[in-house]
Structure 1
Amino acid sequence: MAEVRTHKLVEKSHVARASLPSSTTRTTSSLPLSFLDLPLAGPVYVKRQFFYQFPHSTHHFCETTLPTLKHSLSLILQHFFPLAGNLLSPPPPHKPFIRCTDDDTVPLTIIESKADFNHLSSNHPKSIHELGHLNPELTFATMHDDTFIFPLVALQATVFESHGLCIAITYCHVMDGKCCNHFMKSWSSLCQSGGVDLTLVENSPPCFDREVLRDPRGGLEDIFLTDYFLERSTWKDKLIEQTPKHEEYFKATIVFGRDDIEGLKRWVLEQWKKNDEFNCPQYLSKFVVVCALVWTSLVKTRYKDHDDEDVKEEYFRFAVDCRGRLGHPVPETYFGNCLALCYAMLKRNELKGEDGFVNAVKVIEKTASDMKSEPFKEAEDWRALSVKTFVLGTPLLVTGSPNFDVYETDFGFGRPTKVEMVHSFKCMSLAESRDEEGGLEVGLVCKSEEFEYLFYVLQQGLQTTKSSVC
């Protein structure tokens, strides 16, 4: 019962997009999904949180801040109108699409919380269950003809009286992280101006033209549509399952400084040249070396006592923005998914061994290089690889990106003190460092008893590279 008293519902409203002056009739329109939306269509959700210092009362928030939040949201939804709509998934052979009407709204929930703002907005381990209270849930419905209806976006503002504010978004994956970032930056910029300056969104409006995203190989849409119908057949069982409890899992953020990252790069390139100078690249990205260290450290932490399963396959999946990789121009503000899914695999003992970090760097670097030359090389196998990853192996999926500049999302309260993503233990989240240019923040979910050993393994990895360089 104490948990119920911690969070109090203040208001739940539905914000409609502002009406255009010339609008006199009610209309319904639809936005088709592209071939790259199909692998992620359905009940695939992303949850992001923005924490801000806000030393005011809930009453002050409701009287002075909330009206501007609502007004600016209503204006921004004129430009991002599909987000107020619904994803409709009719039964085969019909394709899914986004339905938009003049009556569409986005739910905005206001919560007052007595939880510890400083703790929840810190890098220290905190309960996934506690973080989950800060995000709104997205529901679904079904029609008589077995059509699924998925609302696309829900928003929540949680006030921690006299301490802080958390603005959270939960969205259906009909748009990628870059699109969500575009929406949040546009909304926050307008809100910061008091709801009067639309310059940002007017200078870079979202592009809804599906013709700009052409299948570079031909035939991928048919493959993805077949995979989508297979996945759709599993939704009923998945959606009626009881939501799993998260009390035993916690999330912490590890910050890698620029010097840490440069040390990792130098050390691993030296090791690579010793054994295979001919195939050693001249440069490694911070994404590759940090992800490799995190992947190996997690495997060593979670399976340090599981020697009998050391031949089990471990998978590392990340997505790459393809807007500049398709051989034809795709606007940076394209609305939808424009992602290539990349899979790397190693046996567990190859990650746990002495050369685990180098092995991980090599396989992630090769996967990334292959994607650059041919983004959809194995696209016809994406669903099969996904099933294999979860059924036969153990996955680690990357969410977020250091390229989004999420710490520049200012609603008028200053830069966020923390930007968080809520996800399962099968994921790791990435963001740029808030306080150091060139650094990276990595969010990891583990059981509470695993963190001490995980931090030790990560520190040992960093120390090894530093001592070698020195």
Structure 2
Amino acid sequence: MALQITLFPNRGFSIGAAMHHAITSNPSTIDRTVVEDKAGLGRLFSNQYQDIDGPNNRSVKVWELQPPQDSIRGTFELTRASIQKLRGHVLSTVSSDRDLHLSTFSLACAYTWVCLVKAEETKEEKTQLVFAADCRSRLHPPIPATYFGNCITRCLAVVETQGLSGGEGLVVALTAITEAMKRLEKDGLNGAENWVSRLSSLRGGRLVAIAGSHRFGVRV
């Protein structure tokens, strides 16, 4: 939701508003108390982040992730037809009893992951993909779907790099993504006490992170 106030000198003001339809279609709530933190993860995360790069490190500097100087930036569009082609390829390759997550998001992530590994000729033995997932329905007890606050969790998929480089790289990537999402079905906060330490340990390996959304015009 966005609000804009325009002031007219000595003549008053005007208020304009623009909002996503999801805000008004349901009785949305932003009550953060619906997210129960029985394990005290908020304080735990704060302490663990302070211990990164030295004990009780109170610096607010973020990790300096600088791209190589010879890097170039490109934009690649996956159309509806492209996604359908990828989905058809997977369905024609795997057996009918394979329960793979074939959403647009999963297919786009898997394909991008494979392309990056091949283009970079990644040398690490294993490759990780991390992406965010909606945690509202994956908590115990689940919180209302109308909760409008921040309630996301991280998904981590890990594969042998060689598997992504082979002819069935897309299926290998999709399998890893599907397994990562299935682990959330039992409990969206499963193993949360180790998230910070695991994230810190991954900084030395090949990690692909998904940021932003394919559904909204937002880039980060």
Class of the TM-score when normalised by the shorter of the 2 chains: 0.7 to 0.9
Say whether the 8 Å CA contact 1:264–1:289 is kept in structure 2: yes
Distance 2:138 2:81 in 1: 30
2:214 to 386, 393, 402: 402
2:105 to 264, 284, 287: 287
2:184 to 371, 374, 382: 371
Partner of 1:264: 86
Distance 1:240 1:370 in 2: 29
1:197 to 3, 13, 16: 16
Distance 1:343 1:223 in 2: 20
**Does 2:41 correspond to 1:220?**
yes
Distance 2:64 2:18 in 1: 44
From the CA coordinates, give the structure whose radius of gyration is larger: 1
Distance 2:51 2:180 in 1: 27
Question: Displacement of 1:210 after TM fit?
Answer: 2.7
Question: Displacement of 1:284 after TM fit?
Answer: 1.2
Distance 2:89 2:72 in 1: 31
Partner of 2:3: 187
1:209 to 31, 39, 50: 31
Structure 2 unaligned regions, length at least 5? 7-12
Call closer, same or farther: CA 1:200–1:385 in 2, change over 3 Å.
Answer: same
Cα RMSD of the aligned pairs, angstroms, is 3.4
Question: Displacement of 1:395 after TM fit?
Answer: 0.5
Partner of 1:328: 143
Q: Which has the higher strand share?
A: 1
Distance 1:329 1:240 in 2: 33
Distance 1:283 1:355 in 2: 16
Distance 2:176 2:74 in 1: 26
Call closer, same or farther: CA 1:390–1:208 in 2, change over 3 Å.
Answer: same
SS in 2 for 1:248: coil
Residue identity matched to 2:120? R
Call closer, same or farther: CA 1:234–1:344 in 2, change over 3 Å.
Answer: farther
Distance 1:328 1:244 in 2: 38
Superposed, 1:273-422 pairs within 5 Å as 273=95, 277-278=96-97, 280-281=98-99, 284-303=102-121, 309=123, 312-326=125-139, 327-329=142-144, 331-334=146-149, 337-391=150-204, 393-403=205-215, 405-406=216-217, 420-421=219-220
SS in 2 for 1:250: coil
Question: Displacement of 1:187 after TM fit?
Answer: 3.5
Distance 1:257 1:222 in 2: 43
Partner of 1:20: none
Say whether the 8 Å CA contact 1:213–1:330 is kept in structure 2: no
Say whether the 8 Å CA contact 1:321–1:338 is kept in structure 2: yes
Question: Displacement of 1:350 after TM fit?
Answer: 1.5
Partner of 1:230: 51
Residue identity matched to 2:47? T
What TM-score do you get using the length of structure 2 for normalisation? 0.76
Superposed, 1:99-110 pairs within 5 Å as none
| Count of matched residue positions in the alignment of Structure 1 and Structure 2 | 206
SS in 2 for 1:239: coil
